[in-house]
Amino acid sequence: MLILDDTIKSVLSERLQELEKQFEADVVFYFGEFHPYYEKGFRDFIEKLQEGGKARARLAIILNSPGGNVETVEKMVEIIRHHYPKDVYFVVPDYAMSAGTILCMSGDKIFMDYSSSLGPIDPQVFNGKEYVPALGYLDQVEKLLEKARKDELTKAEFLILQSQDLAMLSRYEQARNLTVTLLKKWLVQYKFSSWTAHETNPDKLGKPVTPEEKEQRAEEIARVLGDNKIWHSHGRMIGVGTLKSVLRLKIEDYSNDPKLRPLIRSYNDLLLEYVRRQNYKIFLHSRNYF
């Protein structure tokens, strides 16, 4: 088993080097959810890339995540941008859901292929046992409150409403508001930083994009991604086609890139197989860390 692991590590190291050449960037791999417990480890992981004076100006993060704590994502972005202020790419071979989607919006570019997915920005809040989607709770409570205003509550519904933990509901609302605030801020500051001219609007084609227009687009994207009435499910997979057509979000689609797609997949799939075989909940990889 040790020989096999050493062989896998050697192969992964070679493939990572190829990816760094392809992206002209420091390339790292992140698997797992986002939890405050991991913040220090992530800081040390990124700092280790700076050792020896070999760090590049650009960082590319290959991301696989079901989501997690949005405050942790905010701290991770601060760490990333401290060391890589100019250029950050996110590569999503499989999925980056919820808080993972929010993290991707802090990048200058997002790379996906036809099978990749982002997700609705339904923030997850830790209830003492596990992370739960906040918007589902808020939507149901709002429905009950609306029925109460119309004097249509059943006795069972009244008991359900009465049993709600107001402190937890407040946390859900705070998480929702923070999620929207961060998404809008990062889209304007990073993702839209190179958006200087209109490309799809026939009435404005080629005209300069104003700061107000960037803010409006960010607001629209945040509203759509955070609307449970559109997606119906916290775990809904949103593919490249929908991101481009519905959200009008620019995605670097490598589906037909004969060099990049097999390179990303061969690295990502082998590393995921190793991670799952070891039953790791979170795993980071770089040229300096395994």
Q: Which of 98-102, 130-134, 221-225, 281-285 has the lowest mean pLDDT?
A: 130-134
> Does 209 map to a domain?
yes
Backbone phi, psi, residue 109, to 5°: -140, 150
> Does 120 map to a domain?
yes
> Does 276 map to a domain?
yes
pLDDT of residue 139: 67
pLDDT of residue 159: 66
Say if CB 73 and CB 186 are below 8 A apart: no
Residue 24's H or E segment, with its range, is none
Say if CB 141 and CB 120 are below 8 A apart: no
Count of structural domains, the chain:
1
Q: Which residue range forms the structural domain that includes residue 176?
A: 2-285
Where b means 16+ CB within 10 Å and e means fewer, 188-207 reads bebbbeeeeeeeeeeeeeee
> Does 43 map to a domain?
yes
Quickly tell me which residue has 């859901």 as its tokens.
97
> Does 83 map to a domain?
yes
pTM of the model: 0.87
> Does 140 map to a domain?
yes
pLDDT of residue 141: 66
> Does 290 map to a domain?
no
Say if CB 184 and CB 219 are below 8 A apart: yes
Mean pLDDT for the stretch of residues 156-172: 67
